[in-house]
């Protein structure tokens, strides 16, 4: 609805009434999400039954293979290995990324020095460096962890830097005026103020971690979820391939929900954390 309002210059203009935004109830939101998942499974089953099962297995075949891998212990062993390596690399990226992002936000010289380097190297495919890391670090977990850390570093740096740059000068001026030490300004102001941005960068980096780990485990590796995918593909077992892909999807979802839960619990002043 609109109403006429007289402007200071004598001109009339319309002002539109604002209505509160509609928000879905938790039950309705859950129903919609479940409906989307059910529709996806139904479409998959229909496609599998109308096509060659050697390429697209049915849901029953995928489920049976998943249960077999769980009972045999292969899924637990390889999944734990993939997740452990990936989380170590992600933790390294988190520590380094937060340190670099905060330094760039606090010091213009550091920002001007590192920004061109980050902009030039970010689009470059770091996976191409994997053979180099193997030559330098040998076969095993080390080159995979280094590559995960390198790939996950960029979104954490960029988001931390953006959060640090958003800290108002007035806020920093008040802390200096209160004679707070540099350490207190970092712990009490900079890190809490940038925490939403840091966790956003971590949410972006988490699926990258899983992708990089799986790809590297497909190359010259005899363990891990990536190896399980390659082994099933080599033996013409599409159900084995898709069962591991589903496990990776579940892992990614669980990690994302954990990060969101931390964001809601720690950054209590943030409202838009419902994704």
Sketch the domain layout of the chain as residue ranges.
55-266
Most confident of 24-33, 99-108, 180-189, 250-259: 250-259
Average pLDDT over residues 126-134: 90
Greater confidence (28 vs 234) lies with: 234
Q: In the structure, what pLDDT confidence band is assigned to residue 7 with cuts at 50, 70 and 90? A: very low
Class in CATH terms, 55-266: mainly alpha
Q: Report the share of the chain in percent with pLDDT over 70.
A: 79
For the segment 51-94, what is each residue's pLDDT rounded down to a tens digit? 766 778 888 888 999 999 999 989 999 999 999 999 999 999 99
pLDDT greater than 90 at residue 14: no
Q: Which residues contact 229 (CB under 8 A, 6 or more apart)?
A: 214, 218, 240, 241, 244, 245
The helix, strand and coil proportions of the chain, stated in percent and rounded to the nearest 5, come to: 75, 5, 20
Look at 192-196, 212-216, 257-261 and tell me which has the smallest mean pLDDT.
192-196
Q: What is the per-residue pLDDT for 183?
A: 64
Q: Are 164 and 104 in contact (CB under 8 A)?
A: yes
Residue entry with tokens 């080159």: 143
pLDDT greater than 70 at residue 147: yes
User: Which pair of tokens denotes residue 203?
Assistant: 């949410």
Q: How many CB atoms lie within 10 A of CB 207?
A: 17
Give the DSSP letter string of 8-65. Answer: TTS-EEEEEPPPPPP---HHHHHHHHHHHHHHHHHHHHHHHHHS-TTTS--HHHHHHH
Element (H, E) at 5: strand 2-6
Buried-state track 165-201, b at ≥16 Cβ within 10 A, e below 16 = eebeeeebeebeeeebeeeebeeebbbebbbbbbbbb
Q: In the structure, what pLDDT confidence band is assigned to residue 16 with cuts at 50, 70 and 90? A: very low
Q: Which residues contact 269 (CB under 8 A, 6 or more apart)?
A: none
Q: What is the per-residue pLDDT for 81?
A: 94
Q: Report the share of the chain in percent with pLDDT over 90.
A: 46
Mean pLDDT for all residues in the chain: 82
User: Which pair of tokens denotes residue 205?
Assistant: 């980096």
User: Which pair of tokens denotes residue 181?
Assistant: 């030490």
Q: What is the per-residue pLDDT for 122?
A: 92
pLDDT greater than 60 at residue 270: no
Sort 164 into a burial class: Cβ within 10 Å, 0-12 / 13-18 / 19+. Answer: buried
Q: CA 104 → CA 10, 122, 125, 219, distances in Å?
A: 50, 16, 24, 36
Most confident of 19-23, 47-51, 172-176: 47-51
Residue 73, SS3?
coil
Greater confidence (226 vs 6) lies with: 226
pLDDT greater than 70 at residue 131: yes
């Amino acid at each position: 609805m609109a109403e006429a309002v007289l402007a200071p210059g004598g001109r009339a203009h319309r002002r539109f009434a604002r209505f509160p935004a509609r928000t879905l109830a938790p039950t309705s939101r859950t129903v919609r999400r479940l409906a989307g998942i059910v529709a996806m499974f139904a479409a998959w089953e229909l496609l599998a039954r109308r096509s060659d099962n050697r390429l697209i297995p049915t849901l029953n075949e995928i489920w049976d293979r998943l249960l077999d891998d769980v009972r045999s212990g292969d899924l637990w062993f390889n999944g734990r290995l993939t997740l452990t390596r990936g989380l170590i690399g992600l933790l390294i990226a988190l520590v380094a990324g937060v340190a670099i992002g905060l330094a760039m936000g606090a010091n213009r010289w550091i920002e001007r020095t590192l920004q061109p380097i980050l902009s030039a190297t970010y689009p470059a495919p770091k996976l191409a460096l994997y053979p180099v890391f193997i030559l330098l670090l040998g076969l095993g977990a080390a080159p995979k962890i280094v590559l995960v850390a390198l790939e996950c570093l960029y979104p954490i740096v960029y988001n931390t830097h953006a959060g640090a740059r958003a800290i108002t000068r007035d806020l920093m001026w008040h802390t200096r005026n209160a004679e707070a030490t540099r350490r207190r300004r970092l712990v009490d102001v900079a890190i809490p103020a940038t925490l939403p941005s840091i966790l956003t960068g971590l949410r972006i980096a988490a699926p990258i971690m899983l992708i990089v780990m799986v790809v590297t485990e497909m190359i010259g590796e005899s363990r891990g979820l990536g190896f399980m995918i390659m082994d099933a593909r080599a033996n013409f077992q599409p159900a084995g391939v898709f069962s591991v892909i589903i496990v990776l999807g579940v892992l990614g979802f669980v990690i994302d929900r954990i990060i969101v839960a931390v964001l809601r619990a720690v950054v209590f002043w943030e409202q838009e954390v419902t994704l």
